[in-house]
Amino acid sequence: MNDTICALATAPGGALGIIRISGAQALEILSRIFTKDLTTAQPNTIHYGHIVENLAIQFPQVIDEVLVSVFRAPHSYTGEDSAEISCHGSSYILNKVLELLVKNGCRIANPGEYTMRAYLNGKLDLSQAEAVADLIASSNQATHQMAMSQLRGGISSKLSQLREQLLKLTSLLELELDFSDHEDLEFADRTELSNLANKIDNHITHLAHSFETGQAIKQGIPVAIVGKTNVGKSTLLNRLLKDDRAIVSDIHGTTRDTIEDTINIQGITFRFIDTAGIRQTTNEIEKIGINRTISAIRKSRIVLWVIDQEPTNEEINNIVQQAENKSVIVVCNKSDLNEYHHFTIVNFPLITISAKHNTNIGDLESAIYKAANIPTLTDTDVIVTNARHYDALIRAKEHLQRVIEGLNQQLSGDLLSEDLRLTLDTLSEITGGQITTNEVLGNIFKNFCVGK
């Protein structure tokens, strides 16, 4: 924490490259290789000048014409004196500037070290720090919104509410303890305490449950396309993928993400499972056996069952069995050739489409989105997306369960206080209140990119 760090904060290969410097000596070190003295520069100002190899000599080698942004502690991202050098995006220049910074006293930053310093300096809590990495990785509206909500303190404020309720429970137990000193008094009525403990437990359970949704949104919701050969599965997949691709590449040159076999519906990513075979030739599809279908269904959350004629009862029973606990959509394809009106399947929505003629594909997409059962995300909703948070919630719940059992078993307050304290401490791991060991921090920040 005492040294001054530097790193490239942008990806290589652009018109611009940004090098970040942070630490007590940031402006002093930078001034040794910059043609202006920045040690007395005002905060939040921009300075034009040259990065030079040897400032002392009369005609030093100019490495680049740059703009330097100056930030002053504590009003910077890290909370330290910092600067950002906006260079031309040449790999030679960026390497050279980093080399000069290191020669003059900087150290190359570790992954996530800027954000770790921001956390250690109290600029954001640990769940917000983790949200920074999620925000950078966000690739659609839903992941963006979850990360932004977390960054803006969504989880933190939820936890602070839980903390208040747990403290209230603690003080009620202490009150009970005070009364129980009078040996002539019975144990207090614990209904209120039990109610409060169960309410907190419900909130924690709700948060923990949101992790499944959070993971699905983060990784894309898995969709299996199944059905007999020649029913039009590959045509349907191509139709779904193609429509989406056109939208994604709307703004030229701004994203190079490969979006193989995923589509985006209303900001949620849907990921097609194991579709490599589907777009092979018909002959190869023949070889895809029942095992492959079962495996795809098992990995999915949503099953698109494509048919081109009304199914037999046996076929329906097969799907109902195989797709237990999945959201199945029956896709009645080839609507131009066939009519479907003699059957319904309980709980399975039926969508009649023509993949070939692009009929009702919008309806199918709406049905897919509905089948995902994503709660509408509002600013007050909190969805847990981080495995570390989920783990802490589950452990907090275990401690709280012991409190609840103790209350029911009429254990005395002083026997419950340890578990109550553990519940509090475990919850506060999420925002970092109880975490200060380097090992834990290292594990959290090691997956960040360098430069953030």
17 binds a second copy (CB under 8 A): yes
Considering only residues 32, 72, 88, 190, which one is a binding residue for a second copy as defined by CB under 8 A? 88
144 binds a second copy (CB under 8 A): yes
Considering only residues 93, 345, 361, 411, which one is a binding residue for a second copy as defined by CB under 8 A? 93
Q: Which amino acid is at 398?
A: E
- Listed ranges 157-165, 203-211, 253-261, 400-408: which one lies at the site for a second copy (CB under 8 A): 253-261
Q: Using CB under 8 A, which residues numbered 108 to 127 contact a second copy?
A: 108
- Listed ranges 87-95, 199-207, 310-318, 361-369: which one lies at the site for a second copy (CB under 8 A): 87-95
57 binds a second copy (CB under 8 A): no
The C-alpha atoms of residue 33 and residue 62 are separated, in whole angstroms, by: 10
54 binds a second copy (CB under 8 A): no
Report which DSSP code applies to 439.
Answer: H
Identify whether the C-beta of residue 114 lies closer than 8 Å to the C-beta of residue 137. Answer: no
The C-alpha atoms of residue 213 and residue 268 are separated, in whole angstroms, by: 11
189 binds a second copy (CB under 8 A): no
- 135 or 320: CB nearest a second copy: 135
Considering only residues 84, 244, 261, 429, which one is a binding residue for a second copy as defined by CB under 8 A? 84
Identify whether the C-beta of residue 209 lies closer than 8 Å to the C-beta of residue 423. Answer: no
- Tokens representing residue 415 in the block: 């026997």
The C-alpha atoms of residue 126 and residue 437 are separated, in whole angstroms, by: 13
Considering only residues 3, 36, 74, 152, which one is a binding residue for a second copy as defined by CB under 8 A? 152
- Listed ranges 232-240, 246-254, 362-370, 435-443: which one lies at the site for a second copy (CB under 8 A): 246-254
- 111 or 227: CB nearest a second copy: 111
Dihedral, CA atoms, 260, 231, 366, 272, nearest 10 degrees?
A: -30
Task: Name residues whose C-beta falls within 8 Å of residue 71's C-beta, 6 or more positions apart in sequence.
Answer: 43, 44, 77, 81, 82, 83, 84
Q: How far is the CB of 443 from a second copy (least distance, A)?
A: 19
The C-alpha atoms of residue 110 and residue 23 are separated, in whole angstroms, by: 14
379 binds a second copy (CB under 8 A): yes
Q: Parallel, antiparallel, or unpaired: how do β-strands 268-272 and 221-226 relate?
A: parallel
Q: Parallel, antiparallel, or unpaired: how do β-strands 302-307 and 16-22 relate?
A: unpaired
Strand positions, DSSP E, 308-354: 327-332, 350-352
Task: Name residues whose C-beta falls within 8 Å of residue 367's C-beta, 6 or more positions apart in sequence.
Answer: 329, 349, 351
- 100 or 216: CB nearest a second copy: 100
The C-alpha atoms of residue 150 and residue 137 are separated, in whole angstroms, by: 14
The C-alpha atoms of residue 148 and residue 128 are separated, in whole angstroms, by: 9
Considering only residues 24, 137, 285, 422, which one is a binding residue for a second copy as defined by CB under 8 A? 137
451 binds a second copy (CB under 8 A): yes
47 binds a second copy (CB under 8 A): yes
Q: How far is the CB of 17 from a second copy (least distance, A)?
A: 7
**Which strand ranges, in their side-by-side order, compose the sheet holding 350-352?**
262-265, 268-272, 221-226, 302-307, 327-332, 350-352
- 92 or 187: CB nearest a second copy: 92
Q: How far is the CB of 71 from a second copy (least distance, A)?
A: 8
Q: How far is the CB of 335 from a second copy (least distance, A)?
A: 35
The C-alpha atoms of residue 83 and residue 104 are separated, in whole angstroms, by: 15
Number of chain positions touching a second copy (CB under 8 A): 69
Which of 280, 313, 277, 311 shows the shortest CA–CA distance to 293? 277
35 binds a second copy (CB under 8 A): no
151 binds a second copy (CB under 8 A): yes
- Listed ranges 93-101, 161-169, 178-186, 323-331: which one lies at the site for a second copy (CB under 8 A): 93-101
281 binds a second copy (CB under 8 A): no
Residues that bind a second copy (CB under 8 A): 7-18, 44-48, 59, 61-65, 67, 69, 71, 84, 86, 88-96, 98-99, 102, 108, 132, 135-141, 143-145, 148, 151-152, 250-257, 379, 448-452
